[in-house]
Structure 1
Amino acid sequence: MPTWMRPSAVPPQIWLRENGIVVRDVTPDLDEYVIDLMAEIHSREAPLSKSAQLYNDQASLEDVKRMWRHQSLPQRVSLVALAEGSPGADMEPVTPENPPIVLGANVLRVKCKADPEQNLVQAAKGKAFMKVFSHMEKFGQGVDLYERFQIDHYLDAVGLAVGRSHRGLGISEMLLRARRDLCTRLGIPLTKTVFTSTAAQRAAKRVGFQVVKEMPFSEMKDDSGACDFPDLCDGNQTVQLCAWKFN
């Protein structure tokens, strides 16, 4: 279990309201709507997951849903973008009879220096999940954010997704921007994300993220030394570990 939980003194709230879009905290009544969107979009379209065909591996899909449902969402730091006027847009509870119009979501969690070490891959059952997250964990090795930025906790990301019919509205950037006020209010000094898509990398740069580590996808090798994600190894595509420190 995580060592950090959201303090009750900071209740769920709206962080941004712009251009008919509301970015707010994910409360328990929204969890399954967020998981459904993330499974449909992120598991299909995030570059590594798409390459590994994670969505088509039922065990892997259950692994990633379990991660979101039990390890991230309970900390109550994840964000969701709803249409203005949608159920939930003014923080009222949503129900199956009164469902929200979910435009996008960013599943987040707080990591602490004092947390026990976690190995997501060791507990997984799906081959695609193990493939993707073993490479993500290897990529993050050697980057000690606690030491580098002199912090003892930070806000980490576990996936961002925008619905297909709602793209081009700046929702990804709004979800990223909302982290600043969320972190400031909660006393979290830094947020970090591993960005794998070029569009997300551009949005991150615009809002204030800095690249801490970058690597071409071609360096993600299998046991034989071949590129483990061959469809991502052409061109100049890279994976970036980015951080945004506040104050």
Structure 2
Amino acid sequence: MEFQTIQRPAGSEYPKIYKEFEGKLLKDGKRRKYWIQDLTEEYFEEVVKGYTEGFLYDEPMCKYSKYDKDPACLAEWTKFWMSFLKEKISLICLTKDDEGKTRIAGYNCLHAAQKNEEIKAESEAVKKFLKILHYVCDQRDAFEEFKIDKYLYGMGLYVLPEFRGEGLGQVILDTRQDLGKLLGFKASLTAYTSCISQKQAYRAGFKDYVTISYADLAKVDKDFHFPGIEEHTKDFKNMYMLY
């Protein structure tokens, strides 16, 4: 599946650096310097690898379904994420190591969701994931309620383990507002499936749109049952922000 590259306003730079900031004080008394910019093609393969080898292990629904152990699932998500990145509206957080080499610290894959869009899957695991995503999102019609024809949708926020504890996820979410406004989006919606990402979303200004507990979802459809997930997170939340 291929999605169209989103056109930027005339004269806008690409890649654009949206934020530059310092992390927390390290043991050696120094602070890492970070910056958040457009996620460009040179990082696509490394980012997709990070999603399939890291994000799918951390994200609750994937973790409790062991999607990271399913070759067909991994192959299909690889294709999906590569297609989303080619829209060229995703964000990446970068830093430099002690030798001056640029390192990836985190990223947020983003997609321009449009009315009547249909994303189809082939593997059973991805079909199950999209099925629950569609069910929750279909509880309310954001296009009609907000009078929009597209919105900025998050397809995974991931911070590499060695850079966690620096608040990078929060800054990346904050930066999404700058990107959305630049590209002319009026709203951003995202399914937040983890209690950790839900807290970050609230701090960034996102509001609840549709909330359904995983216990209630399991009563709706057998495919919506994720054994043990409530030990991690109680609710599935579709959240929104208007620009």
TM norm structure 1: 0.85
| Cα distance change on mapping 1:160 and 1:224 into 2, 3 Å | closer
In structure 2, the residue matched to 1:117 is 117
Q: CA deviation at 1:7?
A: 2.5
In structure 1, the residue matched to 2:88 is 76
> Within the alignment, does 1:140 sit opposite 2:165 as a pair?
no
Q: What SS does structure 2 have at the residue aligned with 1:59?
A: helix
Q: What SS does structure 2 have at the residue aligned with 1:66?
A: helix
Q: CA deviation at 1:226?
A: 8.6
In structure 1, the residue matched to 2:218 is 221
More strand by share: 2
Q: CA deviation at 1:84?
A: 4.3
In structure 1, the residue matched to 2:105 is 103
In structure 1, the residue matched to 2:76 is 63
Segments of 4+ in structure 1 off by > 4 A?
Answer: 84-87, 222-227
Q: Which amino acid aligns with 1:185?
A: L
Q: Is the 8 A contact 1:195 1:239 kept in 2?
A: yes
Q: What SS does structure 2 have at the residue aligned with 1:230?
A: coil
RMSD over aligned CA atoms reads 2.4
Q: Which amino acid aligns with 1:110?
A: A
List alignment gaps of at least 5 residues for structure 1: 90-97
| Cα distance change on mapping 1:168 and 1:3 into 2, 3 Å | same
Give percent identity, aligned residues only. 24
In structure 2, the residue matched to 1:150 is 147
List alignment gaps of at least 5 residues for structure 2: 23-32
Q: CA deviation at 1:176?
A: 0.4
In structure 2, the residue matched to 1:92 is none
Q: What SS does structure 2 have at the residue aligned with 1:201?
A: helix
In structure 1, the residue matched to 2:194 is 197
Distance 1:80 1:224 in 2: 36
Distance 2:66 2:3 in 1: 29
Q: Which amino acid aligns with 1:37?
A: G
Q: Which amino acid aligns with 1:221?
A: A
In structure 2, the residue matched to 1:5 is 6
Distance 2:104 2:232 in 1: 34
Distance 1:13 1:66 in 2: 25
Distance 2:36 2:236 in 1: 26
Count of paired positions: 230
Distance 1:217 1:31 in 2: 32
